[in-house]
Structure 1
Amino acid sequence: MKRICIYTKDIQIITGRSERYCRNLIAEIKKTNNKEKHQPVTVQEFCHYMGLEPTSIQHTIR
């Protein structure tokens, strides 16, 4: 089963950046997509924002 949501730790592994950077990135993606604080960011939204193919990161996040 594939996950729909992406978390800070996943983004850290994908980008190699710090936890703080990844938290700020999630906040920016939420702001861009007009999401509220409690709503999660999906893998699709993250990939679209970063310009990545969802299939390229599926093996990284289980």
Structure 2
Amino acid sequence: MSQVCIYPKDAAAVTGNGYQAGKRLLQRIRVQLGKPSRALVSIQEFCAYTHLPEQEVRAALNAR
């Protein structure tokens, strides 16, 4: 089964930033979507926010 949600280390790896930047990015996504601070962010939500192609993000996550 493929990964459904994205974690800070995944966000950091995909964007080329550090872990803390990945945490901040996911928190900004949660705020925009009106989610609680500990809610999971799906790969689709991440891609919609960052305007990255979902297939490329999934490929990058699977390559790790």
Does the TM-score normalized on the shorter chain lie above 0.5? yes
1:44 matches 2:44 = yes
Which structure shows the bigger proportion of residues in helix conformation?
A: 2
RCO higher in structure (CA 8 A, sep ≥6) = 1
**Deviation >4 Å, runs of 4+:** none
Secondary structure of the 2:59 match is: coil
Match in the other structure for 1:58: 58
TM-score relative to the length of structure 1? 0.90
Can you list the C-alpha shifts for 1:13-58, whole angstroms capped at 9, x where unaligned?
1111011111110100000000002210000000000001111111
Q: Where in structure 1 are there 5+ consecutive unaligned residues?
A: none
Q: Where in structure 2 are there 5+ consecutive unaligned residues?
A: none
Which structure shows the bigger proportion of residues in strand conformation?
A: 2
> How many correspondences in the alignment?
62
Match in the other structure for 1:17: 17
Percent identity, aligned pairs only? 29
